[in-house]
Amino acid sequence: VSKWSNGHWTLELTRNMKSDGRYDKAFVPGRDVYMWVAVFDHAQTRHASHNRPVRVVSQK
């Protein structure tokens, strides 16, 4: 789910804590994980990516 408000996007994502994906990282309670976000606006080659990682904090 995404929402534009006051000049900023808010993006809400859900995912299982553990993934069998080859390139996925498991979420471990109490341990931070860093991720990057890329935005695709109906374009195959021209897209924007976040220039620094987003810290995902999971609580114990």
Q: What is the DSSP letter of 45?
A: S
3-7, 9-13, 29-33: least confidently modelled range = 9-13
Give the C-alpha separation, 29 to 60, whole Å: 5
For the segment 32-58, what is each residue's pLDDT rounded down to a tens digit? 989 887 777 666 766 666 678 889 888
How many domains would you assign to the chain? 1
- Which sign, positive or negative, has the C-alpha torsion 39, 40, 41, 43? positive
Under the banding of pLDDT at 50, 70 and 90, the label for residue 19 is confident
Whole-model pTM over 0.85: no
Domain range for residue 50? 1-60
For the segment 25-34, what is each residue's pLDDT rounded down to a tens digit? 888 988 998 9
Give yes or no for a contact between 48 and 39, defined as CB atoms under 8 angstroms apart.
Answer: yes
The conformational region for residue 42 under phi > 0 = left, psi -120 to 50 = alpha, else beta, is left
